[in-house]
Structure 1
Amino acid sequence: MRGRGKNSAMVAAALCASILGGTGAVAAEATQEAAGNLADGAPIQAITLKAANGISARILSYGATLQSLKAPGRDGTVADVLLGYDDLAGYVDHPNYFGVTVGRYANRIAGGAFTLDGKTYRLPLNDKTNSLHGGGKGFDKQAWKVVSIKSGPVASVVLSLLSPDGDSGYPGTLAATVTYSLDEAGNLTIAFEAKTDKPTIVNMTNHAIFDMAGEGSAAGAMGQLLTIPASAFTPVDEKLIPTGELRKVDGTVFDFRAPRTVAQGLRDGRDRQIVVGRGYDHNFALDKGVTATPQLAARLEDPASGRVLEVLSTEPGVQFYSGNFLDGTLVGKQGHLYRMGDGIALEPQKFPDAPNQPAFVSARVDPGKPYRHTMIYRLSVAR
């Protein structure tokens, strides 16, 4: 597993450099420090990747979590653009998926069940009648192993997790890795890989919640400009499970093909989908589909600070979640109280409930055919 993890780091670094063109002499730095211990005594590490232009990422080995992502604005002011917690205890005691790696299956599986090769598998129900983000103890609530860290033209950390056969009801022993890589230009690549010893399903992503003005900003993310290059989305039923339809976005509040504010349409109760989602909590079917290299899945811009986030991915969908369940009960970084609209998630992935929806891109993974998903958070400044 260790050798495979190092190879994954090299692949992720090479891919990041080839896509983003980072070839300068300035190095990015990776450092590691202790972040605390879990109740069972397991030590948790914090790894910081820092580029010369002021962009940095801090990763916790608990949940392979992206704890912070700091970027300068138009005036040079550096801000952390991720909602989350200042310390490990927050992620353990008040889990809300802030920046975590979700798996084995990101998003919802209807009824907490799916059938594979004629056998039905039962998963924990942690979202009323559904299984969400892998069930009650998904990848986000486990201690990952730090395989390697590296400084250089691309700074990186490789984390690994062995999920045993039957873990949360999923078949197959799954060896998973997540590689975070930061290049000299400040582009953060996240490469997911998983190998199984029997047929299973896998759908991994990062669940960062963004406020490009800086987490805890007075206006939150509602005035920020969002673009999603998708001509269709997957409408959901009352339980937030896709109906199987691919509905055109034309003429609806789901049309983000041209930039518009997050707030526009968020409270439009004339659209039944906004009502059942309590806002946006929907998968968009990206026009690009599945791609060999990461392509644009979403763009988020804060006009005031000029900070721009581009999310690129190899996967066919992106879940746009407008923070609908942030209800003011969570105290996050710097004592900030998080409310609905204080940040949004843009999660590249397979479609929700794909194991029960034959028309959707399959989430099946077989022995000898590893699962791979590469995504990039590309940060820049609009002048």
Structure 2
Amino acid sequence: MIIDDATMLCIGLPTGVRAEILPYGATLHSLKVPDRAGTLKNVLVGLPNPAAYQRQRSFRGATIGRFANRITEARFTLDGERYELSANESPNCLHGGADGFDRRKWEVVAHWMSALTLRLESPDGDQGFPGELSIEADFALTPPATLSITYRATVTRACPVSITSHGFYNLADGGQIGDHLLQISAQHYLPVDDARLPESTPQTVSGTEFDFREERPLLHGEGTGYDHCFCLEPSESLREVAVLYAPETGREMRVSSDQPGLQLYTDAQSGMPSGVCLEPQSWPDAPNHPDFPNAILRPGEAYLNRMRFAFSTREK
């Protein structure tokens, strides 16, 4: 079932916890969870209405693919064949190219009270990527206040695949996010160059502004914010990888993932409340780094990315 781009689909729980998802871009538009006083408010920084997502490409809440993050010079070589991609952040490819999955009409497969499944078919050669790719995105709410997002995909030819949800979270009812406290279970991160591409092998977080092994305030690194991948321990099952907490409202968000990387991105655009993105995904530019965790999906294999955002509150 393909519905109008402007239709917002809702899933919710009897407690009032509620998510709004736009089929355009499989976009998570809003998510209402309680603060320590029990007041339900939206914790996502999105655009004002469905039409705005089509006018302005912001990636806010969108599903990102075929390959999240950046690919150097919009090219890679796989099985001896070179592929040229859409260089939408010239000379590099960002978030799948100029017409990524965030710019597509997704089909509604199923819609229940607390869950939703969307589907997209990406043709061979889409933005330069090889093979046909079929993907489903599952959104589900479970008590007391947990949002689970699952991506499943298959391909007809070998192709780099890394799909994620680009939610901008603010747990303090708007305003800046510098006072949020953050913990990330990572010993290493990937340093980046001026183009935000990996410039070396993983480096230790010890003694750097990237050391979130113990909970600490999320302060902008040198005033420019974060756009870095944290390297997680390998796992085929969900494990907790990050905790975000806003002392002002008492809201806490625990992030679980089965992916090798967690991208931390902090946004501080003027005129809008800032948000923080915690995106489970493959390592950036993995197709051009044989020493990075494998990000190639082959025919007969199934891509799976499961992420869980569990909300609760702390007392003062």
Q: 1:293–1:314: 8 Å Cα contact kept in structure 2?
A: yes
Partner of 1:81: 43
Q: 2:7–2:50: 8 Å Cα contact kept in structure 1?
A: no
Provide, for residues 176-205 of structure 1, a one-character-per-residue CA deviation record: whole Å limited to 9, x for no partner: 110001113221110001111111111000
SS in 2 for 1:191: strand
Partner of 1:40: none
Partner of 2:157: 198
Q: Percent identity?
A: 38
Partner of 2:185: 229
Structure 1 residue 157 and structure 2 residue 116: aligned? Answer: yes
Provide, for residues 2-40 of structure 1, a one-character-per-residue CA deviation record: whole Å limited to 9, x for no partner: 9xxxxxxxxxxxxxxxxxxxxxxxxxxxxxxx7xx4xxx
Post-superposition shift, 1:119? 0.7
Partner of 2:135: 176
Q: Distance in 1 between matches of 2:283 and 2:203?
A: 14
Normalising to structure 1: TM-score of the pair?
Answer: 0.79
Q: Distance in 2 between matches of 1:323 and 1:296?
A: 23
Counterpart pick for 2:196 among 240, 258, 264: 240
Q: How does 1:285-364 map to 2 (within 5 A)?
A: 285-286=231-232, 288-289=233-234, 291-323=235-267, 326=269, 328=270, 337-338=271-272, 342-364=274-296
SS in 2 for 1:345: strand
Counterpart pick for 1:213 among 157, 172, 175: 172
Q: Distance in 2 between matches of 1:381 and 1:54?
A: 16
SS in 2 for 1:52: coil
SS in 2 for 1:92: helix
Post-superposition shift, 1:292? 2.3
Structure 1 residue 369 and structure 2 residue 301: aligned? Answer: yes
Partner of 1:129: 91
Post-superposition shift, 1:93? 0.5
Q: 2:241–2:256: 8 Å Cα contact kept in structure 1?
A: yes
Q: Distance in 2 between matches of 1:239 and 1:119?
A: 25
Q: Distance in 1 between matches of 2:68 and 2:284?
A: 8
Q: Distance in 2 between matches of 1:81 and 1:207?
A: 13
Counterpart pick for 2:205 among 225, 249, 264: 249
Q: 2:6–2:51: 8 Å Cα contact kept in structure 1?
A: no
Q: Distance in 2 between matches of 1:65 and 1:164?
A: 21
Post-superposition shift, 1:338? 1.3
Provide, for residues 195-234 of structure 1, a one-character-per-residue CA deviation record: whole Å limited to 9, x for no partner: 11111111000000111012xx23x211000111101000
Normalising to structure 2: TM-score of the pair?
Answer: 0.96
Partner of 2:55: 93
* Paired residue type of 2:226: Y
Name which one, 1 or 2, has greater alpha-carbon Rg: 1
Q: 2:32–2:40: 8 Å Cα contact kept in structure 1?
A: yes
Post-superposition shift, 1:133? 0.3
Q: By percentage of residues, which structure has more helix? A: 1
SS in 1 for 2:8: strand
SS in 2 for 1:209: coil
Q: 2:74–2:84: 8 Å Cα contact kept in structure 1?
A: yes
Q: How does 1:63-78 map to 2 (within 5 A)?
A: 63-78=25-40
SS in 1 for 2:287: helix
Q: Distance in 2 between matches of 1:113 and 1:267?
A: 30
Q: Distance in 1 between matches of 2:159 and 2:6?
A: 29
Structure 1 residue 102 and structure 2 residue 59: aligned? Answer: no
Residue ranges of structure 1 left out of the alignment (5+ in a row) = 3-33, 38-42, 270-277, 329-336
Post-superposition shift, 1:44? 4.5
SS in 2 for 1:195: strand
Q: Distance in 2 between matches of 1:162 and 1:267?
A: 39
Q: 1:297–1:348: 8 Å Cα contact kept in structure 2?
A: no
SS in 1 for 2:54: helix
SS in 2 for 1:338: coil
Partner of 1:274: none
SS in 2 for 1:45: coil
Structure 1 residue 114 and structure 2 residue 76: aligned? Answer: yes
Q: Distance in 1 between matches of 2:47 and 2:10?
A: 16
Q: Distance in 1 between matches of 2:102 and 2:115?
A: 20
Residue ranges of structure 2 left out of the alignment (5+ in a row) = none
How many correspondences in the alignment? 315
Post-superposition shift, 1:156? 1.0
Runs of at least 4 residues off by over 4 Å: none
CA RMSD of aligned residues (A): 1.6
SS in 2 for 1:373: strand
SS in 2 for 1:268: helix
Post-superposition shift, 1:245? 1.2
Structure 1 residue 280 and structure 2 residue 236: aligned? Answer: no
Q: 1:79–1:213: 8 Å Cα contact kept in structure 2?
A: no
Post-superposition shift, 1:267? 4.2
Q: Distance in 2 between matches of 1:113 and 1:357?
A: 12
Provide, for residues 83-103 of structure 1, a one-character-per-residue CA deviation record: whole Å limited to 9, x for no partner: 112311111111110000000
* Paired residue type of 2:272: Y
Q: Distance in 2 between matches of 1:209 and 1:83?
A: 5
Q: 1:307–1:381: 8 Å Cα contact kept in structure 2?
A: yes
